[in-house]
Structure 1
Amino acid sequence: MIRTLLARAGLVATAAGLATLLSAAPAAAHGADAPDGTDYRTRATGVTPARPGLEVRVVEAGARLELTNHTGRPIEVIGYSGEPYLRVGPDGVYENSRSPATYLNRTIAGDTALPTDADPAAPPSWRRIADGSTARWHDQRALWQETAPPDAVRAAPDREHRVRDWTVPLRDGADPARIDGTLDWLPPPDAYTWWAVTIVGLLAVGALGLLAAASPAGSRALSALGALLIVGGAIAVVYPVGREVDAGARGVGGVLIGLLSGQVWSLLTGLGAIAAGCYALARRPGADFVVALGGACLALLAGTGNAAVFARSIAPVPWPPEAARVMVAALLITGAGATAAGILRLHATSRAAAAALTQPR
């Protein structure tokens, strides 16, 4: 029995680490290269002159622009050298394979090598890339691409700064138009404060594992851990849903497709934590191990994977960044705290079992 308990404690770290490795590729694939947070706020202020039925917005925490065309006629997005880049119309979305922007905009860094036939002066070669009337793309005109922040930011990092006003040219038939927007730098939050609060919170939750597992207080502690895991699991489900909405997903179907293609491990982690919490509330056999494993996965996959918001002013979710930080802190507190508490309870159980074996009969 003692060996079984110790083996279960060791499996907590092993299983959680394996889950982290397995989830690395799907997480990186979400939104191509969607940021986990940024200090640059990109806003689209509208289309000039106004075009009824033509909508533009910023998605993925500013990493992409989204253009939706309900005008009934094709609208072209103009590339960096004045060439046609995208065409969005009633018959779908097309990209010009001769436009350098087609390749540069595939990553947020704009570091894709150009093929030999990429020539902005050549006649367009249109290639259909999507159905519908919505296009999303990285645009270097709306982003800050330098490694170092602007000079004004370095001079006064505690203040908000307008980096620039930007425009993206459009063409409606023979008529020119443009997308207008702004790029601002926002001072980041104090990450140390958020980490300090998180560590104190997870230690408080972990302390529940010090209560004797066989006592009434220990039973109540197990129930409390179960309830916390359910709350943490619910947050772990809501957060990736928010990321998909911020990435431009529309409707329940769009959110589900995004979750299954790019956020499936975060979703499964949340559902698993909820199941582990229910298992603990029912006080089923082996609940301590289930709590520890569920908490470890929650902290590693849902908590640390989104912890960049502690040090970034813009979060990739449609709610305020302060709310995003509270949610991530709650994920880490419930996940890491439940892991510590579960391991402590397993250790206490193994010691009690060892003591029982040494007592004279």
Structure 2
Amino acid sequence: MGPAVRGAAGLLLALLFLPLGAGVAAAHGGGAAAPGTSIPRVLAVEPAVPGLALVVIEGGTRLRLDNHTGETVAVLPPPDSPRGQEPLVPTGSSAAWADSRLAGAPAAPPRDGTSAWLVPLLVGDQQVVVHGDRTWPAPPLAVPWWSVTVAAALGTFSLGAAAAERGRHSTAATAVAGVTVLVVGAHVLHVIGSSLVLDRPASVGVVLAAAGIGVLCWALGGLGVALTLARHPMGPATCASAGTLAALVTVFDVAGFHSAVLTFGWAFDLDRATTVVTVGGGVGLFLTGCAVLSATAPAPLVAAKPLSGNDVA
């Protein structure tokens, strides 16, 4: 099997997952309501209780309580209200719910820029109050994020085209392996940050479930880097497959370039940056694969011209 056939097989593997990858990306966030223009945040737990954590999840639509206190934790309802969806959380468990005290945010921030809220808890027999507020992050400027994404794609393709022209022993081929590490690493970071705001605490299983078929691009990326550094003919094409799949499962998250609030556990700009690297670098790696296929494809056979009577004479 020649290099062109092996490269074609690698690209075909990525392209076969296009419909499934798009479906995974479209389902990002687990079907929760789309984030709005503001988000609650937890400021303090008074008094502090070791092992108790309250997390804003799913873009601010719900809260998650993680209980490792050794006591059962009850979320108390608003004053003069019957118990509704407020959970009773045994020790060692977690629970997520939509709290009415965080709902009904105004469309615009108050004059001081924040809106306070509190949620009372009962940890065993101890009264505890969770204090929080609501903030309105400034909407991002979409054009710079899109510009950097396009630049990442073009820059990656420039390296890939040079690697295709100069061969697998070139410095450019090593650079393609480095870009693959960046793309896969950005995708891993993107998935971990997204898993922090799900209705279950982050764990290896939760992260892998959140990644879905994106786990395959992690494996392809590692394999592609190893093959490329070993100067194997299939290395750049395998890197291209990894980048293509990473871009496919992340492409719908470019909507974050236009949204002020994202379903991400760390800084929202970090989420946008990982999307830039994954989508931009992934598209560039896909184009790299096309360049590799073009450079390694065998020359077309030219049919011999039949001899005429005059040629024989």
Q: Is the pair's TM-score, using the shorter chain for normalization, greater than 0.5?
A: yes
Residue identity in the other structure for 1:310: F
User: Retained in 2: the 8 A contact 1:211–1:218?
Assistant: no
Residue identity in the other structure for 1:72: E
- Which deviates the most, 196-205 or 310-319? 310-319
Q: Distance in 1 between matches of 2:53 and 2:14?
A: 48
SS in structure 2 of the partner of residue 313 of structure 1: coil
User: Retained in 2: the 8 A contact 1:40–1:144?
Assistant: no
Correspondence for 1:263 among 203, 211, 224: 211
**Counterpart position of 1:67:** 65
**Counterpart position of 2:16:** 15
Residue identity in the other structure for 1:322: D
Q: Distance in 1 between matches of 2:259 and 2:103?
A: 16
Residue identity in the other structure for 2:76: V
Cα offset, 1:68, TM superposition: 4.4
User: Retained in 1: the 8 A contact 2:168–2:233?
Assistant: no
Q: Distance in 1 between matches of 2:5 and 2:55?
A: 55
SS in structure 2 of the partner of residue 134 of structure 1: strand
**Counterpart position of 2:182:** 231
Residue identity in the other structure for 2:81: G
Q: How many corresponding residue pairs?
A: 300
- C-alpha deviations, 1:170-190, integer Å up to 9, x for none? 567999875442222121111
Q: Distance in 2 between matches of 1:143 and 1:299?
A: 35
1:213-232 paired onto structure 2 within 5 Å = 213=164, 215=166, 219-232=170-183
Q: Percent identity?
A: 24
**Counterpart position of 1:210:** 161
Change (3 A) 1:173 1:342: closer
- C-alpha deviations, 1:141-199, integer Å up to 9, x for none? 31457xxx72569xxxxx9943x333445567999875442222121111111011110
Residue identity in the other structure for 1:262: A
1:303-318 paired onto structure 2 within 5 Å = 303-318=250-265
Q: Distance in 1 between matches of 2:78 and 2:220?
A: 45
Cα offset, 1:202, TM superposition: 0.8
- C-alpha deviations, 1:279-322, integer Å up to 9, x for none? 22223233343232221101111x31432332233444443222
Residue identity in the other structure for 1:354: A
User: Retained in 1: the 8 A contact 2:7–2:289?
Assistant: no
Cα offset, 1:33, TM superposition: 2.2
**Counterpart position of 2:299:** 354
Q: Distance in 2 between matches of 1:220 and 1:51?
A: 55
1:332 and 2:292 are equivalent in the alignment: no
1:138 and 2:98 are equivalent in the alignment: yes
Correspondence for 1:150 among 104, 107, 128: 107
Cα offset, 1:260, TM superposition: 3.4
1:88 and 2:88 are equivalent in the alignment: yes
Residue identity in the other structure for 1:203: L
TM-score normalised per structure 1:
0.67
User: Retained in 1: the 8 A contact 2:117–2:133?
Assistant: yes
SS in structure 2 of the partner of residue 33 of structure 1: coil
1:244-263 paired onto structure 2 within 5 Å = 244-247=195-198, 250=201, 254-263=202-211
TM-score normalised per structure 2:
0.76
Change (3 A) 1:176 1:201: closer
Cα offset, 1:337, TM superposition: 0.7
User: Retained in 1: the 8 A contact 2:45–2:129?
Assistant: yes
User: Retained in 2: the 8 A contact 1:208–1:221?
Assistant: yes
CA RMSD of aligned residues (A): 4.0
Task: Work out which structure has the larger RCO, using CA pairs closer than 8 Å and 6 or more positions apart in sequence.
Answer: 2
Residue identity in the other structure for 2:243: G
- Which deviates the most, 71-80 or 336-345? 71-80
1:322 and 2:281 are equivalent in the alignment: no
Change (3 A) 1:276 1:77: farther
Change (3 A) 1:172 1:319: closer
Unaligned runs of 5+ in 2: 305-313
Cα offset, 1:336, TM superposition: 0.9
Residue identity in the other structure for 2:238: V
User: Retained in 1: the 8 A contact 2:116–2:133?
Assistant: yes
User: Retained in 1: the 8 A contact 2:54–2:65?
Assistant: yes
Instruction: Give the 4+ runs in structure 1 shifted more than 6 A.
Output: 171-177
Change (3 A) 1:278 1:39: farther
